[in-house]
């Protein structure tokens, strides 16, 4: 269905209001979600596992609590899904492969917080093994397909999450972003995806997600949904390697105007040798004009991007190794994963620590665009360089070839994982191929509120639609 964001029946906020008002029970909403999964998922492959009976028991518990007059959380009765790399009690944390067999004994802290807010966990979503590439496909889980065009990829590595939300199988779902893995599938599937500030969301029970690169968060059908989920799950623990600064209420930020901002735009990729698709360039130009019409000061800038390679690649390889060390059956790892681990053997702890030091330097250089004379409040760029690739693009390819194919997807995104800044993929209409367009908004350190306010303003001025088949 081609619903507009403002009247979306699958919006998480709308679902929570529907249950809280008594117009539907948590069980009824869950059954609607499970029916959509059963109808839509088989050809798309968004879910790696559906926890139907556990979810029914959880929904019944939500209804019993409501009947008893207990306080309702902000996500009361809302069905959610969780990316495979996060622990869900009673389910195997597969990391997208077959190398684990024992179910997790406890929820990851983020999942615990979702449940505490009243959410109902429907299942876990597909990802490439260890999230290594921005295409959701692999030997174990097969191909996950874009609901706008099943011959195309939904991006990755949170591709299953994106498909589940774009089709309304669940109103909102959690992904992870170590090099663009929230923003890339959001861009491919027409969703709002905010990578938060490094350290904004806890990685517990792990101390980090790919050292300084990764974080987790929702892929959402609306800005207000993303803000609501972030206000539920945000906050670090002493065990976390990184901790973000103060930022205020995200829900309040999404509900207020951004004021007059200085917006700088650039279509220059961070990655050399990559040329952006003309329609991605046009989307930036169109968004810049719209922002000017909305009263912002908008101008082209030269971000003077630093090269993040020496900081990114060692942490990427060390991050995959740290997750591979957690699995119970390493002999079951996919061939490409084993090759990646062999190729990454040069990343010793000393090399990794040097990369972390380089991260601080890259962050300082990347943030020059937000500082001094000519500073901007927000940087506007393409979200990705190329259109969504065909599904199965990695078939038969090794680590090096797969990494080269990934470069256009991460050309604008990965720098901000190294720098740590918040960055969001915001829908920008449809391209001539019928698939979504998106732009990226990058904010100052700890300034998710400005990105949420500005994104909500764009959402109101330029509503977007969901896949017709949904």
- SS3 string of the chain? CCCEHHHCCCCHHHHHHHHHCCCCCHHHHHHHHHHHHHHHHHHHCCEEEECHHHHHHHHHHHHHHHHCCCCCCCCCCCEEEEECCCCCCCCECCCCCCCCCCECCCCCHHHHHHHHCCCEEEEEECCCHHHCCCCCEECCCEECCECCECCECCCCCCHHHHHHHHCCCCCEEEEEECCCCCHHHHHHHCCEEEECCCCCECCCCCCCCCCCCCEEEEEECCHHHHHHHHHHHEECCCCCCCCCCCCCCHHHHHCCCCCCCEEEECCCCCCCCCCCCHHHHHHHHHHHHHHHHCCCEEEECCCCCCCCHHHHHHHHHHHHHHHHCCCCCHHHCCHHHHHHHHHCCCCCHHHHHHHHHHHHHHHHHHHHHHCCCCCCCEEEEECCCCCCCECCCCCCCCHHHHHHHHHHHHCCCHHHHHHCCCEEEEEEEECCCCCEEEEEEEECCCCHHHHHHHHHHHHHHCCCECCCCC
Q: What is the arithmetic mean of pLDDT over 172-193?
A: 98
pLDDT the model gives residue 345: 96
Which pLDDT band holds residue 4 (cuts at 50, 70, 90)?
Answer: very low
pLDDT in tens, 113-160: 999 999 999 999 999 999 999 999 999 889 999 999 999 999 999 999
pLDDT the model gives residue 468: 80
Q: Give the residues across from 465 on adjacent strands.
A: 4
In the residue annotation, 158 being an active-site residue is answered as no
C-alpha triplet 81, 117, 445: angle, nearest 5°? 80
Above 90 in pLDDT, residue 420?
Answer: yes
In the residue annotation, 157 being an active-site residue is answered as yes
In a domain, 168, yes or no: yes
In a domain, 73, yes or no: yes
Question: Of these residues, 25, 157, 266, 455, which one is catalytic?
Answer: 157
In a domain, 315, yes or no: yes
Q: What is the arithmetic mean of pLDDT over 161-189?
A: 98
Q: What is the arithmetic mean of pLDDT over 345-352?
A: 97
pLDDT the model gives residue 470: 62
Above 60 in pLDDT, residue 193?
Answer: yes
Q: Provide the mean pLDDT of the chain.
A: 96
pLDDT in tens, 450-466: 999 999 999 999 999 89
In a domain, 328, yes or no: yes
pLDDT in tens, 319-331: 999 999 999 999 9
In a domain, 313, yes or no: yes
Question: Of these residues, 25, 33, 48, 83, which one is catalytic?
Answer: 83
pLDDT the model gives residue 8: 72
In a domain, 467, yes or no: no
Above 90 in pLDDT, residue 1?
Answer: no
User: By percentage, how much of the chain surpasses pLDDT 70?
Assistant: 98
pLDDT in tens, 61-117: 999 999 999 999 999 999 999 999 999 999 999 999 999 999 999 999 999 999 999
pLDDT the model gives residue 10: 82
Question: Of these residues, 25, 33, 48, 181, which one is catalytic?
Answer: 181
pLDDT in tens, 352-363: 999 999 999 999
Above 50 in pLDDT, residue 6?
Answer: no
**Residue 291 sits in which domain range?**
5-461
| pTM given for the model | 0.97
pLDDT the model gives residue 460: 98
pLDDT the model gives residue 215: 97
Above 60 in pLDDT, residue 263?
Answer: yes
In a domain, 444, yes or no: yes
Q: What is the arithmetic mean of pLDDT over 187-211?
A: 97
In the residue annotation, 25 being an active-site residue is answered as no
Above 60 in pLDDT, residue 7?
Answer: no
In a domain, 421, yes or no: yes
Query: How many domains would you assign to the chain?
Result: 1
Residue 194, domain CATH? 3.90.1300.10
Which pLDDT band holds residue 49 (cuts at 50, 70, 90)?
Answer: very high
pLDDT the model gives residue 55: 98
């Amino acid at each position: 269905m081609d619903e507009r964001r403002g009247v979306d029946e699958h919006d998480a906020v709308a679902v929570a209001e529907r249950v809280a008002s008594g117009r539907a029970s948590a069980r009824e909403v869950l059954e609607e979600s499970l029916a959509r999964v059963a109808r839509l998922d088989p050809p798309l492959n968004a879910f790696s596992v559906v926890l139907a009976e556990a979810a029914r028991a959880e929904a019944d518990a939500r209804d019993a609590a409501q009947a008893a007059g207990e306080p309702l959380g902000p996500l009361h009765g809302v069905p959610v899904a969780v990316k495979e790399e996060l622990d869900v009690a009673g389910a195997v944390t597969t990391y997208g492969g077959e190398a684990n067999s024992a179910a997790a004994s406890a929820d990851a802290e983020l999942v615990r917080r979702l449940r505490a807010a009243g959410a109902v966990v429907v299942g876990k979503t597909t990802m490439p093994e260890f999230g290594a590439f921005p295409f959701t496909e692999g030997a174990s889980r097969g191909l996950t397909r874009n609901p706008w065009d099943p011959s195309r990829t939904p991006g990755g590595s949170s591709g299953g999450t994106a498909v589940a939300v774009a089709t309304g199988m669940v109103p909102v779902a959690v992904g992870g972003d170590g090099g663009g893995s929230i923003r890339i599938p959001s861009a491919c599937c027409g969703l709002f995806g905010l990578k938060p500030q490094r350290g904004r969301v806890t990685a517990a029970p792990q101390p980090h997600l790919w050292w300084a690169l990764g974080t987790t968060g929702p892929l959402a059908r609306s800005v207000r949904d993303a803000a609501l989920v972030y206000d539920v799950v945000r906050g670090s623990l002493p065990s976390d390697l990184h901790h973000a600064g103060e930022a205020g209420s995200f829900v309040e930020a999404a509900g207020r105007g951004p004021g007059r901002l200085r917006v700088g735009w650039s279509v220059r990729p961070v990655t050399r040798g990559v040329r952006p698709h003309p329609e991605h360039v046009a989307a930036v130009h169109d968004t810049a004009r719209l922002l000017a019409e909305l009263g912002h000061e908008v101008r082209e800038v030269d971000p003077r991007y630093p090269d993040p390679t020496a900081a990114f690649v060692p942490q990427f390889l060390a991050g995959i190794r740290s997750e591979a060390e957690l699995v119970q059956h390493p002999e079951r790892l996919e061939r490409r994963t084993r090759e990646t681990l062999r190729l990454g053997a040069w990343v010793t702890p000393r090399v990794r620590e040097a990369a972390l030091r380089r991260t601080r330097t890259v962050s300082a250089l990347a943030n020059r665009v937000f500082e001094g004379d000519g500073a901007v409040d927000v940087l506007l760029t393409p979200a990705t360089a190329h259109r969504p690739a065909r599904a199965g693009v990695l078939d038969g390819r090794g680590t090096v070839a797969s990494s080269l194919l990934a470069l256009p997807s991460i050309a604008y995104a990965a720098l901000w994982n190294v720098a740590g800044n918040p960055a969001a993929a915001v829908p920008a209409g449809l391209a001539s191929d019928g698939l979504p367009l998106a732009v990226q908004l990058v904010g100052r350190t700890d300034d998710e509120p400005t990105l949420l306010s500005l994104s909500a303003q764009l959402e109101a001025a330029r509503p977007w639609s969901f896949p017709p088949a949904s």
